[in-house]
Amino acid sequence: MPTIIDYLLLTVITIFPVLSLGIMLFFSFVIAPTVHKFLPTQQSGPYIRKLFPIYYIINAGLALGSVIAIASLGVFNAIFYANVIILVLFALCYFYLMPAINKQKTKTNRAFKVLHGSSVSINLVQIILLISITVVLLDF
């Protein structure tokens, strides 16, 4: 018979990926474009660079929480591994890509464009994985 802890873990497993997906979509389609639209380039770049560490830490924390909750139940399925991939990609972005992008601050720089493109691609992969997790968990 499931315990209250099991139900709490299942709640975390269900809610954390959906929260992360919502944060990512809101940041990608509302925050970033709005900042670049309404702030001058001299202000928008530094502002976004201040937000990204928070974005990565919150989302990595949600992914880590999901991984721990799933592992606590002893389940190592596709949802577990998708969350691990999402977590590793957030760590990669936080510890490698973000500092590398910040060093290439000018948008005319080819290295900036390649690094930023990598970041966007990783973000898209994470969004696809989170949508997949949501569809599976909510049994659409």
Residue 57 has pLDDT above 80, yes or no: yes
Distance CA 111, CA 108 (A): 9
Q: Give the C-alpha distances (Å, rounded to integers) separating 29 from 60, 83, 106, 115, 139.
A: 20, 22, 22, 19, 26
Residue 9 has pLDDT above 70, yes or no: yes
Residue 84 has pLDDT above 90, yes or no: yes
| Token pair for 88 | 């590793």
| All residues at 6 or more sequence positions from 51 whose CB lies less than 8 Å from its CB, including other chains | 27, 31
What is the pLDDT confidence band of residue 1, given thresholds at 50, 70 and 90? confident
3-state helix, strand, coil in the chain (%, to 5): 85, 0, 15
Mean of pLDDT values over 58-84: 97
Residue 123 has pLDDT above 90, yes or no: yes
- φ, ψ for residue 77 (rounded to 5)? -115, -170
Residue 83 has pLDDT above 70, yes or no: yes
Mean of pLDDT values over 72-86: 97
Identity of the residue numbered 106: T
Residue 48 has pLDDT above 70, yes or no: yes
What is the pLDDT confidence band of residue 140, given thresholds at 50, 70 and 90? low
Domain positions in the chain are 4-137
